[in-house]
Each structure stands twice: as C-alpha cells, then as structure tokens.
C-alpha cells in the first residue's frame, strides 16, 4: 500500500441497496490511476441511514373510548427493500381537560395551593376541579401568591444577598 494517500485515484461505484440483515450498504472502488503500491479494488461499507424509509402519514383516528387509544397508518412513500410497506402507530388519547386557574393560597409551612375549575368547553369525563400544590418560601415576598411565576426573594432581598456575598469575599 502506498503511504501517500493522494497518489491512488479510484472510480467509485454506486452504493448498493441497504441490507436489512446487517443494516449496511457498500460500494466498490476500482483503481483508476496510481503507483505500484495502490490496491486494485477496495470495498467500503457503511451503516445505512436510519431515515432510509419515508412514509406518508394518515390523519389520526378518533379516540376509541374502549381502549383510550387513537391510531394512524403510515404508508411507504420511498425506501429500501427492508422497509415495511405499512405501519400502524397507536398512542394514548389525551383528555381534553382545560382549567381556569385559581388564585394561589398563602404560603404556609413551605406549601401553597390553588384550586382550578374545569372550563365549560372541556371533556365531561374530566374532574370538575383540580388542586395544584407547590413548595414556597414562607416569610418572603411570594409573587406566586398573586399569580406570578417567581416565588423566591424579591428584588430588594436579592440585591441584599449579592452585597452580603460580596462582603464575605472581601473578608476571606
């Protein structure tokens, strides 16, 4: 074999079809031009791309109340010999439960809660109310109680914490 990679020039064949047993395809390289140390023919193998099977997806079916599942059919559009002609996918149905969020309670004992009411447009099989609980920091300005997302220290407290940390670094 020649140590100089640039001195061997090959003609590349087309890639073979994907072998479903090995999940590989191959191509042959035939020497076009090169030095005495060049190999006359080489075979290169590589893994097939996972996306080598392309499907057309049907619409999802209505939810089956007995199985609580819906399905769709995938029909082969383009692919290798190892591709399945049709596939069926099933998945659990989601309940169409939509809630009007209630107000957060006071933070007591590190916990706060709210009661959400089912919206009129929701599935009748949904619970009429749901209770949502979360942890909180008692004694701090909990914006979460007013419906905000932050339930940690307020702006003044955060600035004080930053100054306290900076002061401790200076003493160390």
pLDDT of residue 1: 44
Task: Indicate whether 69 and 41 sit together in one domain.
Answer: no
Q: 106 and 163: one domain?
A: yes
CB 134 within 8 A of CB 111: yes
Integer Cα distance of 108 and 97 in angstroms = 29
Q: Which domain holds residue 132?
A: 99-171
Structure tokens at 127: 């619970």
Residues 129 and 165 in one domain: yes
Number of domains in the chain: 3
Write out the chain's pLDDT in tens, 172 residues: 444 556 899 999 998 887 767 778 899 999 998 888 899 999 999 887 666 788 899 999 988 877 778 999 999 988 766 788 888 999 988 777 888 999 999 999 999 999 999 888 777 778 889 999 999 987 765 454 444 444 444 455 555 555 555 554 454 4
With a CB cutoff of 8 Å and minimum separation 6, the contacts of 36 are: 2
Q: In terms of domains, do 135 and 156 share one?
A: yes
CA proximity to 72, closest of 61, 64, 85? 61
Task: Write down the pLDDT at residue 30.
Answer: 94
Whose CA is closest to 25, among 76, 78, 82? 82
């Amino acid at each position: 074999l020649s140590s100089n990679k640039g001195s061997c020039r090959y003609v590349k064949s087309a890639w073979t079809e994907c072998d479903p047993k090995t999940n590989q395809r191959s191509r042959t390289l035939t020497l076009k031009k090169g030095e005495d140390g060049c190999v006359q023919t080489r075979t290169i193998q590589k893994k097939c791309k996972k996306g080598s099977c392309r499907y057309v997806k049907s619409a999802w079916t209505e939810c089956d109340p007995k199985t609580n599942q819906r399905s769709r059919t995938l029909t082969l559009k383009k692919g290798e010999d190892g591709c399945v002609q049709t596939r069926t996918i099933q998945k659990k149905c989601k309940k169409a439960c939509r809630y009007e969020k209630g107000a957060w309670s006071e933070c007591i004992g590190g916990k706060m809660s709210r009661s959400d009411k089912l919206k009129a447009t929701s599935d009748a099989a949904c619970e009429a109310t749901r209770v949502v609980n979360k942890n909180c920091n008692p004694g701090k300005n909990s914006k979460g109680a007013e419906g905000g997302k932050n339930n940690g220290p307020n702006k003044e407290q955060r600035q004080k914490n930053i100054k306290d940390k900076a002061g401790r670094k200076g003493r160390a």
